[in-house]
């Protein structure tokens, strides 16, 4: 089935406006003060109080990370 009307360039571009990549603003880790992304583990492994993630392969939550 084909569309009945052609969509103009302006309308197409206005629709693509929502597909733009948003700027990611980091927050600071409350323990180390390092910048980290929202809902991600900091390099020290801290996520929230009482939860620490340890991934030695990625050096998250280890002594060297």
For residues 40 and 25, the answer to whether their CB atoms sit within 8 Å is no
Write b or e for each residue in 30-62: b if 16 or more Cβ atoms lie within 10 A of its Cβ, otherwise e: eeeeeebeeeebbbbbbeeeeeeeeeeeeebbe
Q: What is the pLDDT of residues 26-52, one digit of tens each?
A: 988 888 888 888 888 887 887 788 888
Structure pTM?
Answer: 0.47
Q: What pLDDT does 8 receive?
A: 92
Q: What is the pLDDT of residues 16-26, one digit of tens each?
A: 888 888 888 99
Task: Name the residue ranges covered by the structural domains of the chain.
Answer: 9-58
């Amino acid at each position: 089935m084909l569309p009945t009307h052609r969509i103009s360039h302006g309308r197409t571009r206005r629709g693509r406006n929502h597909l733009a990549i948003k700027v990611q603003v980091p927050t600071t880790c409350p323990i180390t003060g390092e910048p980290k992304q929202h809902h991600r583990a900091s390099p020290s492994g801290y996520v929230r109080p009482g939860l620490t993630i340890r991934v030695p392969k990625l050096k998250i939550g280890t002594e060297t990370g």
